[in-house]
């Protein structure tokens, strides 16, 4: 009987040891998860207080305890992005997308970092991946549209931003890009419509007024062009290129109004002299002012 019990006792001891071993492993894992959560919450608090370097250390501690804590990676990458440490942010978000291939936020943020680094082809892939994961996310279409705009793929800009607007997105910068894209493919009426919407949404955005003025100038609609460039100058009084275009539009509409034209070209010269790259334009304008003054005197003698 003793011989028969001994193997049974040994088996029982082995099973108990295995049970306690498993319990110890689970308990240890639970402790690490708890500490990781504590580190994450500490990092959030530090980040809200503006202590970004300390927050980074806390996020790193969280990841050390739990290498798959996705939110910690995402927040850490966001801090690097905020600090303009784009290479570090890039590394973090690449890691996240490898660990979680269905994280829309990770692919979106990866695309934003790649965009900041001017890696437009890579950013395009990241934003497209994010869209495939969430095709109702309006912001993704905006970000992809910005990439196409930088790549000068104007037809893609139009398609992507039209989708953005149909999904309910609406802001001045997307309508500006849409207007410029239509301008580039020689659809001025659609360009004007988009630029006017941009201006409605942000009345002090210089670039939309300037682009609108350029279209009117090319169409020979000098009064409209002058009006657009005048508004551009009101928004940004030191933009010498707007002053140049305004002078052209006004003179084209009324070439014999010498006093007004001399005044406008003189204003351009005053602004442009501050910029070395405008040196040639300034020289041409100064000569033109002299010619206008001669024509003014000649007209006065008649």
Q: What is the 3-state secondary structure (H, E, C) of the chain?
A: CHHHHHHHHHHHHHHHHHHHHHHHHHHHHHHHHHHHHHHHHHHHHHHHCCCHHHHHHHHHHHHHHCCCCHHHHHHHHHHHHHCCCHHHHHHHHHHHHHHCCCCHHHHHHHHHHHHHCCCHHHHHHHHHHHHHHCCCCHHHHHHHHHHHHHHCCHHHHHHHHHHHHHCCCCCHHHHHHHHHHHHHCCCHHHHHHHHHHHHHHCCCCHHHHHHHHHHHHHHCCHHHHHHHHHHHHHHCCCCHHHHHHHHHHHHHHCCCCHHHHHHHHHHHHHHHCCCHHHHHHHHHHHHHHHHHHHHHHHHHHC
- Give pLDDT, residue 51: 94
Least confident window among 13-27, 149-163, 196-210, 248-262: 13-27
Q: What is the pLDDT of residues 135-183, one digit of tens each?
A: 999 999 999 999 999 999 999 999 999 999 999 999 999 999 999 999 9
CATH topology for 221-302 is 1.25.40
Q: What is the pLDDT of residues 245-296, one digit of tens each?
A: 999 999 999 999 999 999 999 999 999 999 999 999 999 999 999 999 999 9
Domain boundaries, the chain: 34-134, 221-302
Q: Can you give the pTM of this predicted structure?
A: 0.84
Least confident window among 33-37, 171-175, 226-230, 288-292: 33-37
The yes-or-no verdict on residue 30 having pLDDT over 80 is no
Higher pLDDT, 93 or 28: 93
Per-residue confidence band for 32, with pLDDT thresholds at 50, 70 and 90:
low
- Give pLDDT, residue 16: 43
Q: What is the pLDDT of residues 102-129, one digit of tens each?
A: 999 999 999 999 999 999 999 999 999 9
The yes-or-no verdict on residue 6 having pLDDT over 80 is no
Least confident window among 58-67, 151-160, 184-193, 210-219: 58-67
The yes-or-no verdict on residue 9 having pLDDT over 70 is no
Considering the domain 34-134, what is its CATH architecture?
Answer: Alpha Horseshoe (1.25)
Kindly state the average pLDDT of the residues 187-209.
98
Q: Are domains 34-134 and 221-302 of this chain identical in fold?
A: yes
């Amino acid at each position: 009987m003793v011989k028969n019990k001994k193997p049974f006792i040994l088996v029982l001891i082995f099973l108990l040891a295995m049970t306690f071993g498993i319990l110890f492993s689970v308990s240890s894992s639970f402790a690490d998860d708890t500490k990781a959560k504590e580190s994450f919450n500490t990092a959030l608090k530090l980040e809200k207080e503006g202590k970004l370097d300390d927050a980074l250390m806390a996020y790193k501690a969280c990841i050390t305890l739990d290498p798959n804590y996705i939110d910690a990676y995402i927040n850490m990458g966001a801090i690097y992005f905020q600090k303009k440490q784009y290479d570090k942010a890039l590394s973090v978000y690449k890691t996240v997308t490898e660990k979680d291939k269905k994280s829309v936020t990770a692919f979106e943020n990866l695309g934003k970092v790649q965009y900041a680094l001017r890696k437009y082809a890579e950013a395009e892939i990241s934003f497209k991946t994010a869209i495939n994961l969430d095709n109702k996310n309006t912001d993704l279409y905006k970000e992809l549209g910005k990439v196409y705009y930088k790549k000068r793929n104007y037809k893609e800009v139009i398609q992507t931003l039209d989708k953005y607007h149909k999904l309910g997105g609406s802001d001045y910068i997307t309508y500006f890009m849409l207007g410029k894209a239509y301008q580039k493919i020689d659809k001025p009426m659609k360009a004007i419509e988009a630029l006017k919407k941009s201006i409605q949404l942000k009345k002090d955005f210089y670039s939309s007024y300037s682009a609108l003025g350029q279209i009117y100038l090319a169409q020979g609609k000098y009064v409209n062009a002058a009006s657009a460039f005048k508004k551009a100058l009101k928004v940004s009084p030191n933009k010498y290129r707007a002053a140049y275009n305004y002078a052209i539009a006004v003179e084209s509409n009324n070439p014999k109004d010498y006093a007004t034209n001399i005044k406008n070209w003189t204003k351009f010269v005053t602004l442009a002299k501050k910029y070395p790259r405008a040196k040639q334009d300034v020289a041409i304008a100064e000569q033109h002012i002299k010619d206008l003054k001669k024509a003014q005197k000649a007209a006065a003698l008649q």
